[in-house]
Structure 1
Amino acid sequence: MHAMQYEITLPADHDMRSVHRRIATKGPLLDSWPGLGLKAYLVRERGLDGSPVNQYAPFYLWRTTEGMNAFLLGAGFRTLCADFGRPAVRHWTGAGLRRGPGAVDGPAAPGPLAATRLTERLPEGADPADAVERALAELPDHPELHTAAVALDPSRWELLRIALWRAGAPAGAPGTRYRVHHLSSPELDRLPAGRHW
């Protein structure tokens, strides 16, 4: 599993309805993308959920590198770059996954409405295996949890934790808060649960 995200920060007075329309029209294009576990179309809006910025920040869990490469080198990402400029794409190696009770299958099933993302730089001398084990043990076990994942960027020794929530994120859930405007999850059921090593 590979985690990936890019963040496009928009001006404070940007009409975010244009981003909502973009997601509504383009989001379903990835609903059957080969090799994609999930893409959560994440949005932050200035003044909502404590956000200081307007931001479009889609998050991906890829099952295959072929699927990821086909997306990054394909027409859809090329169009995004033409519209917003080419963003820096962050990438983490997947370390573990939990599907929660809120991950209901089926085309009519309600998707998640919120997400939280927390990143942590591992201190010099910290054992990465211990940090990952601790993060996996701390993955939320909550009735509204849709999906949670832990991933690691070994170039920066940065740990990522992300959780998708069927309703709003619970009070006290740590991390940056996003609203989920669409979820494409063609191969989520093929991503292995639990520890990934």
Structure 2
Amino acid sequence: MHAMQYEITLPADYDMEIIRKRVAAKGHLLDDFPGLGIKAYLMRERGSDSPVNQYAPFYLWNTPEGMNSFLWGPGFQGLVNDFGRPEVQHWTGLVYEDGPAAGASARHAVRRRQRIAEGGDLAAAIDEAVRETQRLARIDGVVCAALGVDPRHWELVHFTLWEGAPRAVGDRFEVLHLSAPERASLVRGRQW
């Protein structure tokens, strides 16, 4: 599994209805995309649990071929044409778990980035983060939870999809659409 996200931060007075309409018109295009476990079309609005207006899709890929096909294909190029080329963040997958609400529609998401402290035991830090993800995955209302690591910057990313109001710490997003063509193929549990 490979996690990926890009963030498009928009002006404070940007009409976020434009993003809603964009996702309504184009979100279904990845509903059967090969290699894609999940794409959560995420948005947050300034003033409602967010300091910024932002469009920030989050992906869980089953295969690098799927991710590469997307990044070098017409879908991502369309986004680049409309908004400019964003920095694409990516993390190696560490754990994925379905939650008690796995069959429900995801309405909200929480993403929390966390630096791994210098000088500590890396294995212990990862084990603790895996346990936290597994704990989150057991909370009522959780659709799924995932954890990834960027070893270049020694950063963890915790990602949780929620059926209702999220009960986790981190950046909160509204889920406008969820494409999940190969969600059933995402490996459950630890990825090593």
TM-score, L = length of structure 1: 0.94
Aligned amino acid, residue 102 of structure 2: A
2:64 maps to what in 1?
Answer: 65
Number of corresponding residues: 189
Q: Distance in 1 between matches of 2:141 and 2:89?
A: 27
Q: Residue type of the partner of 1:92?
A: W
2:78 aligns with 79
**What residue in structure 1 maps to residue 183 of structure 2?**
188
Q: Which residue of 2 aligns with 1:175?
A: 170
Aligned to 2:22: 22
Runs of 5+ in structure 1 lacking a partner?
A: 105-109
Quick one: distance in 1 between partners of 2:2 and 2:160?
15
CA deviations 1:35-92 (Å, max 9, x no partner) are: 00000001010111x2010000000000000000000000010010000000000010
- The DSSP-based 3-state class of the residue aligned with 1:14 is coil
Q: Match of 2:119?
A: 125
CA displacement at 1:111 relative to structure 2 = 1.6
**What percentage of residue pairs aligned between the two structures are identical?**
54
How do 1:1-197 residues align onto structure 2 when only pairs under 5 Å count?
A: 1-48=1-48, 50-104=49-103, 110-139=104-133, 140=136, 141-170=138-167, 173-197=168-192
Q: Name the TM-score, length of structure 2 as normaliser.
A: 0.96
CA drift at 1:121: 0.9
Distance 2:120 2:80 in 1: 37
Provide structure 2 residue ranges, at least 5 long, that are not aligned to the other structure: none
CA-based RMSD of the aligned residues comes to 0.8
AA matched with 1:154? P
